[in-house]
Amino acid sequence: MLTVEKIGGTSMSALKDVINNIILFERKGDELYNRIFVVSAFSGVTNLLLENKKTGEPGVYHRIAKYQEFHHALAELIVSLQTINKKYVGLGLDLPLADKFIEDRVNDAKQYLDNLANILASGYVSKEGILQAAREILASIGESHSAFVFTNILQNMGINATLVDLSGFHDHKSYTIDQRIKHTFSNIEFDKTICIVTGYAKGTEGIMREFDRGYSEVTFCKIAVAVKPQEAIIHKEYHLCSADPVLVGTDNCIPVGFTNYDVADQLADVGMEAIHPKASKPLEINNINLRIKNTFEPEHPGTLITKDYVSPHKRVEVITGTTKLVMIDIYDPLMVGNVGTDFEIMRVFYDLGISYNFKATSANSISIVIWEKDFNKELIRELEEKFEKVTVEKMAMVCLIGSNMDQVGLLAKSAGALSAANIDIKSAGFALRKVNIQFLVAREDFDDAIIALNKAMA
């Protein structure tokens, strides 16, 4: 059967395991084919190109954005990527060829970036548009590099592997991303080859404008919609588990097994992404099943996400959450009975482009939870101009999530578990469908809350 599969950066860096556990596992001969692999850059490479995703440490992109000299940074990038190449010589990588590929690709990028920098310095055009183009060019280097290395190794193993470079580096046709994918795959016989595809795809709309660092999942989903596989698969370095095994212990959690896209959206809403919700929508709409597998446990079927799955038994499927939230409480004695207060608050959030994760109301106050990274002083200033008192408090959220957990006493049971662990519930809520019960707790109580809830639901 035809599958479209995605391999993340951490798994890609363990390329020997990827080959043994994904490419070759229980397959030989023609069984190796009919598979399309969308690959991320090797772990840490996109951080060098753009910025560190976790710490914000600047990469090459920020030198361009600050009008600084960036040629030396690109030269260092070549050295870094060629150092990565050396790690895979033992797997059969043609090192001189791989080193030349990355030299040529970075030097070609330098010419494009020089042109952009000159236009930027002229002051005649929008800075935003030029910097977005620079960001796209730089990002594409990471996936082009990993895809080339992977393809070369497979070819040197005697496997018919096809490099599908969607970065469009030397293609100046004005394709949208969907058009580029359709054109590129139109003449490939999938049953005779393994396709290794760059996670970055060039298009007139710019794949990073909406998704930024989540672009490889967009490419993955768009390819799946284009070729209509029997299944889409994402290979990660861990299972999608009922709770974080680091917190609760591996013996106290299990892989989810089966769930639906609604649950996947709930997970993404608190930062536990099986897949970016906007990226997965095309899969859901086109009724393409998604499987999440652990690269290092190839014999395990993983978790299958489908459009219509509902657990046959009432149960909590996942206990998760995040510590990276801020609660903003807006109080005003004139709220009670006043039509439009909520609208007025939401208008401020909308104008500043800030989304929220949670909202609770009383007669005279509305509490709203947002990601800490989205918090800014302008938001508070505007709210304080309109309402009597605005309070800000750092917060954590723990969630019970499942496709069928509408059971009598679940709320009492979970609140009781938190109380027994001496954890104060700051706020709580759930929608009518009860696919996600949310508890707001102090950040220092987060780990204990996850452990307590996991123990109570066992």
Give the pLDDT confidence of 62-116 residue by residue, as tens digits.
999 999 999 999 999 999 999 999 999 999 999 999 999 999 999 999 999 999 9
| Contact between residue 263 and residue 435 where contact means Cβ atoms under 8 Å apart | yes
- The larger pLDDT score, comparing residue 129 to residue 141, is at 141
Q: Between vectors from CA 451 to CA 450 and to CA 453, what angle results, nearest 5°?
A: 65
Q: Which residues contact residue 405 at a Cβ distance below 8 angstroms, ignoring those fewer than 6 apart?
A: 311, 314, 315, 316, 317, 434, 435, 437
Give the H or E element holding residue 184.
Answer: helix 177-185
Closest alpha carbon to 306 in 268, 255, 257, 272: 257
pLDDT-derived band at 56, boundaries 50, 70, 90:
confident
Mean pLDDT lowest among 56-70, 116-130, 364-378: 116-130
Both tokens of 189, joined, read 């016989």
Strand order through the sheet with 427-429: 358-361, 365-371, 318-331, 389-401, 436-441, 427-429
Among 122, 114, 125, 133, CA closest to 70: 114
* C-alpha–C-alpha distance, residues 338 and 96, integer Å: 72
Rounded to the nearest integer, the mean pLDDT of the chain is 94
The predicted-structure confidence for 223-277, as pLDDT tens digits, reads as follows: 999 999 999 999 999 899 999 999 999 999 999 999 999 999 999 888 787 788 7
Q: Report the Cα 193 to chain-centroid distance in Å.
A: 28
- Return phi, psi of residue 197, to 5°: -115, 140
Contacts of 34 (CB under 8 A, 6+ apart): 1, 2, 3, 190, 191
